[in-house]
Structure 1
Amino acid sequence: MTRRITWTLLVLTSVLLVLAVVPLAVSLTAREHVAYRDSQRAATRVIAAAAEEHLSDKKPPTVMRQELDAAARAGDCAAVYDAAGRLVASTPCTAAQGEEAEELVEAVLAGHEPEPPELEGSLLAAEPAGEVRRPTGAVVLARSAGPLDARTMAIWGWSATVGVAGLAASALLSVRLARWVSRPLSTLDASARRLGEGALDARAEVGAGPPEVRRLAATFNTMAARTEALVHGHRAVIADVSHQLRTPLTALRLRVDVLAAEAEGDTAAELGAAQEEIARLSRLVDGLLAVARAEQATPRPTAVRVDEVIAERVAAWSPVAEEHGVRLAAASEGPALSIALGAGHLEQILDNLIANAVEASDAGGSITLGHGTVRGMARVFVRDDGPGMNDEAKAVASRRFGNPEARGTGLGLAIVHRLVTVNGGTARLEDTPGGGLTVVLDLPLWPEDGHGWNEA
């Protein structure tokens, strides 16, 4: 943002400076040129007035010579011509003579006002001696263009200096303004990223930047504080519920176990059924608590090797799968992938999916785990050849108790969905070719340079 603001202001300032300084410099240069020309023509008229006295009044050329000497001392070259265009007198230098000067004299003697040419390094001016329409002669004065060029260069030099100084001042102010605006926004962005990664104590600085940014930071801090209070409150409730439910369930199970050990006949059968219901209730409580924890999770992503976790979970669950007569295996190894996931979340996700698949598969079935990459995301799948699900069951499978036909608690896919989505991924259910269910997870890849997640 700092760079964009700075460049925008610099471009705007540059355009304004060009639109203001260049026309001003052009105007001053034109005025200087006109003033220089007027001064040259005035000096030419003075010599022409003295030449008229000599050419028309037949007075001695003393005054004319004095004016020519004065022009020579000033660095000008002048020449006086009679009505026939013949050279009468001139300064020692010959810059006022030649073809261009003769053409000017011819035009002046014809009663015209020619546009004086600009020769290399000098400017020519011509004036009639006497009346314009019936002149008795003409005067040509050549003046060096050096002083005019020096003044023109000075004008453009000062204009360039003003432009550069204005641009430098604009750059300094642009950078300061951009930092004043963007620095608190960057801090707010970092705080929001830390909050999203699970640092519930992340707060933004509210004492810097424009009033709108300060208000935004204050609002963010209020939201973060409320989020922290809600999360901590939910965690406390989960802990209390876990303690309050598990303790009486454990005591109840122990008492029923004692009674079942001494019972016989129908009483033993009834107590056995009660033990199964208590065990089911315990699993249900554990599942609900797991879902609640997943919903309240605010993970800080870490680099997780997918191939290693899959190999570990296959090794851990293979004995359980063998007891059910199910073959559990990993697909042919793809490239080693690292994903950005909360610590332990991939293990918990795979445990729930494998448990569901084992429960759903019949003896002789198979379960396959694999991974790959699709469109910049890591893809993990768990495929079984069990009975599968119809479209209605798939639509509600991620809800608590969404599948009424589930053999377990019906909470496994709900836990998976919460853990996947809280880590920025997606989960969906597909039919396995030939029958069965495939759970497809798309999870964010860990940046190759190792930056971008735990920077805060």
Structure 2
Amino acid sequence: MTRRLLYSYLGLALLVLAGLEIPLGYLYARGETSRFSQTVERDATMLAEVTEENIEEGNTTELPALIGDYTARTGGQVIVVDRTGVVLAASGSAVPTGTDLSAEPDIATALNNRPATGTRTDTGGGDVLYATQPGASGTTIRGALRLTYPMTMVTDRVHRVWLALALAGASILAAVALVAFTLARWITRPLRTLHRATTQLADGHLTNPPDATTGPPELRELAATFTHTATRLHQLLDAQQAFAGEASHQLKTPLTALRLRLENFEPYLDPRAHDSLDEAVGEVERLARMVHGLLALARLENTATTPEPTDLDAVLADRAAMWEPLAAEQHVALAVTGTTAGWVWAIPGALEQIIDNLVANALRVAPPGTTLTLTRAPGAELHVIDQGPGMPQADRERAFDRFWRASDSHHDGTGLGLPIVRHLVRASGGEVTLHRAPGGGLDARVRLQPASPASAFGGRRSATRGSSRSGRAAATAR
């Protein structure tokens, strides 16, 4: 933003300078040309009167000395002709004495007792300003005089003025740039500190609040408001996390006690009520799992963690080894296929929980004698494929909604496993989708961002955290 403000100030200054200096230079050039033309005409008139007197008195021999002295003083070139147009004297050697110039337009005009002024190209190819005046007394024409000056005498002065204006404009622009840069830095300082603060807040902490002491009043107020909002947000998050912890502790005990009391009723109930008692105990267990799932999801949403490089192959091998005995108890084979996936970006511990939740959901619907396949595909993609009943398209689109369960579902899931998976995958910079598996069943596809080998050392710690979290993840998914 500093650069844009600086460019806007310089553009405005340049526009103002152009609006002032260009007309000024143009007016000076016109005025200088007009003054030069008037000076040449005045000198030509005066010289024509003097030469006319010399011609009238027959002192033509004094003409070369007269015009030579003028040329030496001013640099102008003078040609004097008689009434027939024959050169009587000329400064320099461009036109020899005795040359007939009566055919030239300005000479012919002057011999008709009318002055002529204009520009022409001389024999050297340069532009000259000429003033041709008749040498006459009344209506008697005794000759004519042509006075010429090179136009460079005017253009050089005009160019010097344009150069002076350009240098003045550049100096002004430099001064404006210095002032504008200082002003832009002053204006944008609160914005820069605000940007750093928002970045820190997005990462879950605010160690450097935005500067609310410098900059325009509006930005100082914005920085102060942001700091107040961030502080209030931290207070709310801390309160919510404290509530989650307290609720986890407070709800766990009465649910456990309620289950024990229901189980203690069994010896005193009619055998016909045992089925209802079992259903009640199952619902209490499901409620406990739902409470744990809600608290786990709340903790995930309140925790901002930066993804780290994680070894997908190591985590997958570890989780497959953990789930294989559980799958065998349900007479379901667990297979790991595909090429080596390498390192991927994931928040710490996310891969373990993602795999545990997906495998737990797949085992819940997998019929005995089928195979649950964990496949690694190119592009840091993981597939969890079961051979269960699958889901229709409408159900797959709603499967990631909280507490949603398919209408034909007969298992005791809480409807929180897939929402937790989606939150973990998106927090890691990836995406999870559900597809129909070939031959029936469901294909849960997790696509993550590949991590570069240079940064993979940071993921080695993440890849070894699965053991401590697998139990919690599996319990949450179920």
TM-score normalised by L of structure 2: 0.77
**Secondary structure of the residue that 1:140 maps to in structure 2?**
strand
Which residue in the other structure is 1:453 paired with? none
Q: Distance in 2 between matches of 1:39 and 1:385?
A: 107
Which residue in the other structure is 2:35 paired with? 35
Which residue in the other structure is 2:423 paired with? 418
Q: Does 1:84 align with 2:84?
A: yes
Which residue in the other structure is 2:120 paired with? 117
- Cα 1:31–1:425 shift into 2, 3 Å: same
Alpha-carbon distance, 1:153 to partner:
2.7
Q: Deviations over 1:175-231 (max 9, x none)?
A: 334434444333323322222222255633333333443333333323322221111
Q: Distance in 1 between matches of 2:225 and 2:376?
A: 42
- Cα 1:366–1:236 shift into 2, 3 Å: same
Q: Deviations over 1:139-187 (max 9, x none)?
A: 1223355543431231121022023223323433443344344443333
Q: Distance in 1 between matches of 2:215 and 2:413?
A: 55
Which residue in the other structure is 1:55 paired with? 55
**Secondary structure of the residue that 1:141 maps to in structure 2?**
strand
Which residue in the other structure is 1:351 paired with? 356
Q: Which is further off, 192-201 or 15-24? A: 15-24
Alpha-carbon distance, 1:334 to partner:
5.5
**Secondary structure of the residue that 1:89 maps to in structure 2?**
strand
Which residue in the other structure is 1:192 paired with? 198
Which residue in the other structure is 1:21 paired with? 21
- Cα 1:168–1:380 shift into 2, 3 Å: farther
- Is the CA contact (8 Å cut-off) linking 2:333 and 2:370 kept in structure 1? yes
Which residue in the other structure is 2:387 paired with? 385
Q: Distance in 2 between matches of 1:245 and 1:383?
A: 35
Q: Which is further off, 2-11 or 347-356? A: 2-11
**Secondary structure of the residue that 1:427 maps to in structure 2?**
strand
- Cα 1:233–1:63 shift into 2, 3 Å: same
- Is the CA contact (8 Å cut-off) linking 1:77 and 1:94 kept in structure 2? no
Q: Does 1:68 align with 2:59?
A: no
- Cα 1:97–1:178 shift into 2, 3 Å: farther
1:96-111 aligned at under 5 Å gives the runs: 103=104, 104-111=106-113
Q: Distance in 1 between matches of 2:437 and 2:84?
A: 115
- Is the CA contact (8 Å cut-off) linking 1:307 and 1:336 kept in structure 2? yes
Q: Distance in 2 between matches of 1:111 and 1:8?
A: 61
**Secondary structure of the residue that 2:389 maps to in structure 1?**
coil
Q: Distance in 2 between matches of 1:373 and 1:136?
A: 106
- Cα 1:417–1:105 shift into 2, 3 Å: same
- Is the CA contact (8 Å cut-off) linking 1:124 and 1:143 kept in structure 2? yes
Alpha-carbon distance, 1:129 to partner:
0.9
- Is the CA contact (8 Å cut-off) linking 1:429 and 1:438 kept in structure 2? yes
Which residue in the other structure is 1:226 paired with? 232
- Cα 1:234–1:100 shift into 2, 3 Å: farther
RMSD: 4.0
- Cα 1:214–1:364 shift into 2, 3 Å: farther
Q: Which is further off, 111-120 or 359-368? A: 111-120
**Secondary structure of the residue that 2:338 maps to in structure 1?**
coil
Alpha-carbon distance, 1:355 to partner:
1.0
1:355-434 aligned at under 5 Å gives the runs: 355-371=360-376, 379-391=381-393, 393-403=395-405, 405=409, 406-423=411-428, 425-434=430-439
Alpha-carbon distance, 1:285 to partner:
3.2
1:145-294 aligned at under 5 Å gives the runs: 145=151, 147-199=153-205, 203-249=209-255, 273=278, 279-294=285-300
Q: Distance in 2 between matches of 1:343 and 1:328?
A: 25
Which residue in the other structure is 1:330 paired with? 336
Q: Which is further off, 438-447 or 183-192? A: 438-447
- Is the CA contact (8 Å cut-off) linking 1:14 and 1:167 kept in structure 2? yes
Q: Distance in 1 between matches of 2:336 and 2:170?
A: 68
- Cα 1:347–1:211 shift into 2, 3 Å: farther
TM-score normalised by L of structure 1: 0.81
Q: Deviations over 1:225-260 (max 9, x none)?
A: 222111111110111111222345556778999x79
- Cα 1:307–1:67 shift into 2, 3 Å: farther
**Secondary structure of the residue that 1:117 maps to in structure 2?**
strand
Q: Distance in 1 between matches of 2:67 and 2:58?
A: 16
- Cα 1:229–1:59 shift into 2, 3 Å: same
Q: Deviations over 1:313-343 (max 9, x none)?
A: 223322322222222233412653422x322
**Secondary structure of the residue that 1:203 maps to in structure 2?**
coil
Q: Distance in 2 between matches of 1:224 and 1:424?
A: 25
Alpha-carbon distance, 1:76 to partner:
3.2
Letter in 2 for 1:80: V
Q: Distance in 2 between matches of 1:242 and 1:184?
A: 42
Which residue in the other structure is 1:46 paired with? 46
Q: Deviations over 1:241-288 (max 9, x none)?
A: 11222345556778999x79x99x97xx89x95876665554343223
**Secondary structure of the residue that 2:118 maps to in structure 1?**
coil
Which residue in the other structure is 2:460 paired with? none
- Cα 1:206–1:302 shift into 2, 3 Å: farther
Q: Deviations over 1:103-147 (max 9, x none)?
A: 242342144525242433854432111269753211122335554
Q: Distance in 2 between matches of 1:37 and 1:122?
A: 11
Alpha-carbon distance, 1:46 to partner:
1.2
- Cα 1:291–1:69 shift into 2, 3 Å: closer
Which residue in the other structure is 2:467 paired with? none
1:284-323 aligned at under 5 Å gives the runs: 284-323=290-329
Q: Which is further off, 242-251 or 186-195? A: 242-251
Letter in 2 for 1:383: I
**Secondary structure of the residue that 2:133 maps to in structure 1?**
strand
Q: Which is further off, 277-286 or 33-42? A: 277-286
Percent same amino acid among aligned pairs? 33
Q: Distance in 2 between matches of 1:246 and 1:230?
A: 24
- Is the CA contact (8 Å cut-off) linking 2:312 and 2:343 kept in structure 1? yes
Q: Distance in 2 between matches of 1:284 and 1:324?
A: 23
- Cα 1:131–1:188 shift into 2, 3 Å: farther
- Cα 1:313–1:124 shift into 2, 3 Å: same
- Cα 1:394–1:116 shift into 2, 3 Å: closer
Letter in 1 for 2:28: L
Which residue in the other structure is 1:454 paired with? none
